[in-house]
Chains A and B, each alone.
Chain A
Amino acid sequence: MMFAYYFQLGLRSLRRNPALTALMVMAIGFGVAASMITYSVFRAVSGNPIPDKSAQLFTPQVDSWGPQQNEKGDPPDALDYTDAMALIRTHEAKRQTLLYPVQMSVMPGGSRDLPMAAKGYAVGSDFFPMFEVPFLYGTGWSAQEDESRGSDVVISDQLNQRLFAGADSVGRTVTLNGHDYRVVGVTSHWDPRPRFFDLFSTDGFDDASDFYMPFTRALDLQMRTGGRNSCRGKLTFTTWDGWLQSNCVWITPWVELDSADEVARYRSFLDSYAADQQRAGRFNWAPNVRLRDVVQMLDHEHVVPPESRISLIVALAFFVICLVNTIGLLLAKFLRRAGEIGVRRALGATRREIYAQYLIEAGTVGLAGGVLGLLLTAVGVSGVGILFQPQIARLAHLDLSLIGLTMLVAIVATMLAAFYPAWRAANVQPAWQLKSN
């Protein structure tokens, strides 16, 4: 009841000092909008792409480069062929996959059309259950297919749309780089961002992949990685086999470990593997391994661009200055009405009531600032392509939670800023004011 009345008073007071009020509303509006625009980008790039399983999925790293050539003490971010094969053969984890990106051509309408580029991954059969890939039709291939090095393929709903007009294409044939593959599954839309499973070759925000093919088949076809390939020392390879035996790293491994016990066991397995390599003379340095889960890996690979962090920090600092500005202006606005407060106090209003009234009045300023902030945020989010790289900018969007957050932050921040000015208003001495009037 009192709240509604004070709220009305607040709205009326907005019109009393239009210039001062406009200034406060603009300060709050700009401050909150800058914070929200940069936050919308930060939120998109810093999210956990697989929240329910991120603590069970791990990337093992083995130092095959040694202390003089590794990444400042850290093992390389991917595995070379030798280590990748050795780790996968042991079946130490319940589920495990190796993967690397591949690029191929697709013929959409037989030989009349021009070939189309398609991006995909060579993966193991466990890839689909491990990463909870959703299927529209069919499923992934079986572990037996991995062994028999079959020509199965899982395609994305997008590629399925282009090739088969969206029909159930399980059992049909696609031609990739001139080789035929049998479609065993079509995924529903699946494009985790950041693309946590391939942070070695992508920055986490590439275009969605079109297909997934068996890792073993890709090796048989001697398919080179479509992603990064990083080497150390002297390079002498001139053939496929020579490259496989080199220290070049290009394969990303993933294992699924469900309990702390399993994690500890796998860690000691990695250690003993590296120790074996040292004993065999392949490594002449002490075991140096890592086992990072999804969140640790996202952090390790610096998936959040520094630009996104810096702009969020600067925007928040900007907001703080806007609030300091608001404190000063509220102080001026409230104390200008010291006479009025004195009269009210003399007529029996308690300090508490004055305090509440002025806080609520500040709330109305915050509300107005929030509305302006929301408009500016909407404009900013749609124009965020000017400020960030397109693949990151397109992830930012204005949704209900961002709208709610904008309003909430604007109102709460303004009321926090009003604590001191409202306290000063509540402490106005009635006698003083009455005297000079």
Chain B
Amino acid sequence: MSPQIKPILIALRRHKAGTVLIALQIALTLAIVCNALFIIHQRLANMADLSGVDEANVFVIKNQWAVDASTQQVDAQVRADLLALRQLPGVRDAAPASGYPLQGGGWDNFVTMTPDQVEPTTDSAVYTGDEHLLDTLGVHLIAGRNFHPDEVVELGTQQAIIPPVAIVSKTLADRLFPDGSALGKSFYAMGATPSTIIGIVDPLHRQGTSQWNQPYAGQSLIWPLRADDARGIFYIVRARPGQLAAAMREAPKALYAQSRMRMIDPKDGIQDYAEIRHKAYDSDRGMAILMGIISAVLLAITAAGIVGLTSFWVGQRRKQIGVRRALGATRGDILNYFLTENLLIGIGAVLVGAVLAVGINLWMVTQFEMARLSLVYVAVGVIALLLLGQGAVLAPALRASQVSPVEATRSV
């Protein structure tokens, strides 16, 4: 394609500073953009995690109790509240809970296979609820059965009660019993007695979306407990299709009609899942946006920089170009010259840039527990920057090819 590599290299040696600057800029841009795109990909992957919840129809009420009460009193109130919520015309089902997927609360227990094991096998998010919880969340039961009403017991304030049965997420079931035989088997979750797996749901996200949760992603269990904590409770409510807004308006009224001695924060006491998801992934979304903006501006500035410097070179070499044209070089030859020159600089730069990209990632891995950069990103980045360079150099190179052979005769 290009028979003139050697003269180009010789010419570049006369423009060392400019060559190094363009190359440096391409190399650094490649290093940063690869890592930024990788961060964007990871964050978007987080945001795409399935919660397992019927998010279009479910909302959550954070209900705090206003006066101290015994567990029995709280339990009576919780039962009355749930009855009132389930009777609302727009409501399909409602359940008591101590937390909910993506955001609410942060209850997790270590899990062991035997009661004497000290080093935990893994960690599981803990949800509590009654026999209505599965239907209320809309999670899919893929094996086994739901809780029976008589299995649900009261959980008073700060009590450590380990129910004999549990429903677990498929991820946890597979983690504990990789051969797929989890149903009917038992595990220990920080209790002296085991819980037997009676049902498996898939998926069921943990409460948290933070980095700490990553190694245990998707591992969760549900215990048949009615959370009668003296401090407060979450009511999870599933509206009938299309009735979400109406149900969210009616639910607090129904609760206050039951008793006024409760607090539902006017600002964020009632949230639908769109809002919960939005808040849960605040920082992921922010990072993705910021990295996106920086990458876009960076590529634009690098392209503009190449245009600027190459234009300068073309201006400087008008006479030489004229001479070459006068000696018989075609316009195509001139165009080819500048494209090849840029390609040579670009190839040198992306080699350095690729090494830098991996180096930066390795440093981030040690500093921020980030994942290893996939080499696909580096490859894509390399191709993108080479194309960007060729695109940027096209306009000045075309202008160079328009230089008339007459220029050779000027001002000599």
Contact of B21 with A327 in the complex, beta carbons under 8 Å: yes
Asked if A415 is at the interface of the complex by the 8 Å CB criterion, the answer is no
CB neighbours (8 Å) of B367 from chain A are 309
Separation of A176 and B309 alpha carbons in the complex (Å): 71
Q: In the complex, which residues 260-315 of chain A have their Cβ closer than 8 Å to any Cβ of chain B?
A: 305-307, 309-311, 314-315
Closest to B284 in A: A307
Known contacts A105-B64, A117-B64, A321-B32; decide if A389 and B286 are in contact (CB<8 Å).
yes
Chain A residue at smallest Cβ distance from B307 = A23
Residues on A with beta carbons closer than 8 Å to the beta carbon of B64: 103, 105, 117
Please state if A321 and B21 are interface contacts (CB–CB under 8 Å): no
- A117:B263 contact, CB within 8 angstroms: yes
A117 to B262, CA, bound (A): 9
- Indicate which residue in A103, A320, A389, A424 contacts B282 across the interface (CB closer than 8 Å): A389
Interface residue from B32, B35, B68, B229 paired with A177 (Cβ < 8 Å): B68
Is A136 in contact with chain B by the CB < 8 A criterion? no
| Contact residues of B: prevailing secondary structure | helix
* Residue in contact with A328 in the complex, picked from B25, B118, B316, CB distance below 8 Å: B25
Contact (A307, B301) CB under 8 Å given A178-B67, A327-B21: no
User: How far apart are A35's CB and chain B's nearest CB, in angstroms?
Assistant: 11
Indicate if the CB atoms of A105 and B302 lie closer than 8 Å.
no
A113 to chain B, nearest CB (A): 9
* Residues 294 to 327 of chain B near chain A (Cβ within 8 Å): 294, 297-298, 301-302, 304-305, 308-309, 311-312, 315-316
**Inter-chain contact B308/A390, CB cutoff 8 Å:** no
How many chain B residues touch the partner (CB < 8 A)?
68
Nearest B residue (CB) for A19: B308
B305 touches A314 (CB 8 A): no
- The residue that B32 contacts in the complex, of A38, A179, A309, A318, with Cβ under 8 A, is A318
Q: In chain A, residues 105-120, which have Cβ atoms closer than 8 Å to a Cβ of chain B?
A: 105, 114-117
List the A side residues contacting B51 at CB < 8 Å.
none
Task: State the Cβ distance, A45 to closest chain B Cβ, in Å.
Answer: 12
Judge whether A390 and B66 touch: CB under 8 Å: no
* A159 within 8 A of partner (CB): no
Task: Judge whether A85 is part of the interface by a CB distance below 8 angstroms.
Answer: no
In the complex, B17 has a CB within 8 A of chain A: yes
In contact, A235 and B287 (Cβ under 8 angstroms): no
* Chain A residues within an 8 Å CB radius of B286: 307, 386-389
Assembly CA distance A329 to B303 (angstroms): 12
Interface centre among A221, A229, A332, A389 (most CB of B within 10 A): A332
Contact surface of B with A, Cβ cutoff 8 Å: 17-18, 21-22, 24-25, 28-29, 31-32, 35-36, 39, 64-68, 106, 110, 115, 118-119, 156-162, 190-192, 211, 229-231, 256, 260-263, 265, 282-283, 286-287, 289-291, 294, 297-298, 301-302, 304-305, 308-309, 311-312, 315-316, 364, 367-369, 411
**5 closest residue pairs by CB, A with B:** A235-B160, A332-B312, A105-B66, A115-B66, A328-B21
